[in-house]
Amino acid sequence: MSFRSLAASQPAVAAVLQRSLANDRLAHAYLFAGDALQDMELAARELAKTVNCESPTKQGSCDHCDSCRKIDASTPPGGQHPDVQWIRPESKSRRIDIEQTRELEKSLHLKPSVGRMKVGIIAEADRLGREAANSFLKTLEEPPDRSLLLLLSTAPEQLLETVQSRCQRIQFGAAAAREPEAAHAPLVDGLLALLGGSGSVLKAYKSFDTIRGFLDAEKKRIEEQVEQSAQLDHYRQTADSKWLEEKEKEIEAQAAAEYRRRRAAVVATLEWLLRDMLVCIEDGDAALLFHRDRCDALRKLAATQTRERALANLETIETLQDQLERNVNEPLALEVALLRLSGLTTPATAT
Ligand SMILES: [Zn+2]
């Protein structure tokens, strides 16, 4: 399997990983989150193959070289390649224990023996015991050179917040079965108006305000929700100040992580709209659309757009998602992206 086949089932995931590979900006640690472990294992294996492949292509690994074949030869997946290590819960306890993580850490700190990179893959990472997870934090904080860690989980919220926050999260999903969130409808309307407005500053800033307003409200709601569920008020009466301080920090990190997830979902909704636009320009079947309820509006708009423009727009929103993941200034990145989408400024990639 190359990224091309991953792109068929998980287009957003394939795009993010391929872009990071192409720009040589792979993170040291990823958290793959989704419903189907199998999809995530396939993606992890493909990534492990690509970074170690003897003749990689733009589409990913070659599938044929010695390294690719060893990583493919599986049970457990990747078991035959000395630089690619998989761990998963032991059958009896259903937990990943500290001996397993220690062994993985030890291996990651060695130089790659035949490949270019050491890859550690933790399947069902939510089954990491607290002790194992804590011992692993240092490796996540200071990952060894030429190492790549992939944590795979169908229940990522069960991972320690400190582990989650040290990984770049990649959300997997069954795109075809998913529906646009009703709450995102005003943002979709705004973007449609923006795309149809041929270079309108007013429309760009109106869309900016709508998105900013939505995100601010989300942030507030998440903070309240997280604080409430932590029952901090109750502990304030009884707990000692040092414990309380730690707890507050943990809550803050939890709220920030949840906000990043929600923000990524907002940008993904807009990204889907731009993909849909491309589908309409190419006269694709309506069944391929994510925003099927916008089919008419999309088709009408598609008649006025070029394929080049649609591709450049898609690139703009992918760049935005990428920048937000790397914690750049959110309002600024959003503003620049919307001005580009409105056609007021030239996309950097089109020049
Ligand atoms: Zn290969």
CA atoms within 13 A on the CB side of 282: 14
* pLDDT score of 245 more than 90: no
Average pLDDT of span 262-273 = 89
Span from the CA of 10 to the centroid of ligand 1 (angstroms) = 21
Span from the CA of 57 to the centroid of ligand 1 (angstroms) = 9
CA dist 142 and 314 (Å) reads 34
**Which architecture does CATH list for 3-171?**
3-Layer(aba) Sandwich (3.40)
Q: Is the separation of the CB atoms in 182 and 265 below 8 Å?
A: no
Q: How confident is the model at residue 78 (pLDDT cuts 50, 70, 90)?
A: very low
Q: Give me the pLDDT at residue 346, please.
A: 65
Span from the CA of 64 to the centroid of ligand 1 (angstroms) = 5
Q: Give me the pLDDT at residue 326, please.
A: 81
pLDDT > 90 fraction of the chain, expressed in percent and rounded: 38
Average pLDDT of span 233-259 = 80
Span from the CA of 124 to the centroid of ligand 1 (angstroms) = 26
Span from the CA of 62 to the centroid of ligand 1 (angstroms) = 4
CA dist 189 and 299 (Å) reads 14
Average pLDDT of span 69-77 = 69
Span from the CA of 194 to the centroid of ligand 1 (angstroms) = 44
Span from the CA of 77 to the centroid of ligand 1 (angstroms) = 16
Burial label, 175 (beta-carbon count in 10 A; 0-12, 13-18, 19+): middle
Tens-digit pLDDT profile for residues 185-215: 999 999 999 988 877 888 889 899 999 999 9
Domain ranges of the chain: 3-171, 182-350
Span from the CA of 175 to the centroid of ligand 1 (angstroms) = 29
Span from the CA of 49 to the centroid of ligand 1 (angstroms) = 7
Q: What is the mean pLDDT of the chain?
A: 86
Span from the CA of 117 to the centroid of ligand 1 (angstroms) = 13
CA dist 195 and 31 (Å) reads 33
Span from the CA of 162 to the centroid of ligand 1 (angstroms) = 35
Span from the CA of 47 to the centroid of ligand 1 (angstroms) = 11
Pure H helices in 124-175: 130-141, 161-164
| CB burial string 280-313: b at 16+ within 10 A, e below | bbeeeeeeebbbeebeebbbebbeebeeebbbbb
Residues with CB under 5 A from ligand 1 (ion): 53, 61-62, 65, 68
Q: Pick the residue with more confidence: 178 or 338?
A: 338
